[in-house]
Homo-oligomer: A and B are copies of this chain.
Amino acid sequence: MPELRKDPIIGRWIIIATDRAKRPSDFISKPEEPIIGFCPFCKGNEGKTPPEVLAYRKQGTLPDTPGWSVRVVPNKFPALQIEGGLNKQGVGLYDRMNGVGAHEVIIETPDHNLSLADLPLEIFFQVLQAYKDRIIDLKKDHRFHYILIFKNNGQAAGASLDHSHSQLIALPIVPKRVSEEIRGAKTYFLYRDRCIFCDIIQQEIETMLRIVTENKDFIAVCPFASRFPFETWVLPKKHNVYFEDTPFSQLQSLGEILKDILQRISLTLNDPPYNFLIHTTPFYEKDVSYYHWHIEVIPKLTKVAGFEWGTGFYINPTPPEDACKFLREAKP
């Protein structure tokens, strides 16, 4: 019997389509053709990107030259523009404003052939440190209300360059999905005086049905109402509001668990395209006892089609309990 499950945070229902239940082997896709041509993210091509805004590099090396391990540059084709005011306006019954924001690229390695999951732990950690440093810097710009860090890995997941990178977009508004999570978490907090994410973690630890792995600071879980097969979330075990406040030692354990999860997904599903994104608290929320930052990892295995566009409802052919078992068995 298929099952309907409700996301406890934003109230989105999903269908676990048990009659279509799928194992990892059903999702193995053909490898993509590599994107051929000049790569502006490679070592030696630093002059082909806009000037770097951050780089971790060998002492004595100059900006925009080789010698870096992780490098952050403005996106050459930004979705939003850094200069200017918002100029909010009504147009009849419609609302618009200028597309002001930051759009940056975090180049995760100078080596074209390494994937994020393959990076040594100390470099993986630097990538997370770069996320944190860029958020702290951009937060000073009072036009921005939210920053999303995300990664598109593989063409099918939206990457337009093969070279391993992630992206940052700073927005002048709090986006809908985040507002929904905030609203859901606030409603729960008003009712129970507890953080819903903390309660989820506690229930998951009690049942052990959906926990893929954990370490001293973090837990990785396939959510009860997963939209997608093998969707996995990483959450700090202790209540934690802002990703960018994560201390040094915790950023290291985050690196360990995120690398581990990416490797398990790669082993289980033959290096599939995937997205991940960090959901953190909007800058102007006050006294946030109710929201808890986390990372959502989404392998790109199914197609979103008319039903999903029409309903905001997802059909997931792999129960998260099954996905969790497969991911647990993978040994990075």
Contact residues of A with B, CB < 8 Å?
1-6, 8, 11-13, 15-20, 77-81, 84, 91-99, 148, 150-152, 156-159, 167, 169, 171-173, 175-178, 180, 196, 199-200, 203, 206-207, 224-225, 275-279, 296, 298, 303-307, 309-313, 315
Contacts and interface: CB of A to CB of B under 8 A. Distances in A.
Given A2-B99, A203-B92, A175 B13 contact: yes
| Residue of A177, A279, A311 contacting most chain B CB atoms (<10 Å) | A311
A311 B175 contact: yes
Contact of A93 (B80, B159, B203, B298): B203
Contacts of A17: 79-80, 99
Given A2-B80, A79-B17, A98-B1, A305 B93 contact: no
B148 A16 contact: no
| Residue of A20, A81, A279 contacting most chain B CB atoms (<10 Å) | A81
22 contacts: A1-B98, A1-B99, A2-B80, A2-B98, A3-B96, A4-B172, A5-B94, A5-B96, A8-B93, A13-B173, A17-B80, A19-B77, A93-B203, A148-B307, A150-B306, A151-B306, A157-B303, A175-B312, A176-B312, A277-B307, A279-B310, A296-B310
Contacts of A92: 203, 206-207
A15 B99 contact: yes
A159 B176 CA distance: 29
A91 B320 CA distance: 15
* Total copies of the chain: 2
B307 A169 contact: yes
B94 A224 contact: yes
| Residue of A99, A206, A279 contacting most chain B CB atoms (<10 Å) | A99
Contact of A152 (B12, B199, B277, B305): B305
A173 B5 CA distance: 11
Contacts of A276: 306
Contacts of A84: 1
Contacts of A309: 150, 177, 275, 277, 296, 298
A93 B1 contact: no
Given A6-B96, A95-B6, A310 B177 contact: yes
Contact of A307 (B167, B279, B303): B167
B312 A180 contact: yes
A187 to B, nearest CB: 13
Shortest beta-carbon contacts, A-B, top 7? A158-B305, A2-B99, A150-B306, A175-B311, A277-B310, A177-B312, A275-B306
A204 to B, nearest CB: 9
Given A2-B79, A13-B176, A178-B310, 20 more contacts: A1-B84, A2-B80, A2-B81, A3-B99, A4-B97, A4-B99, A4-B173, A15-B79, A92-B206, A93-B200, A93-B203, A150-B310, A152-B305, A159-B305, A167-B307, A175-B313, A180-B312, A276-B306, A279-B310, A304-B304
A310 to B, nearest CB: 4
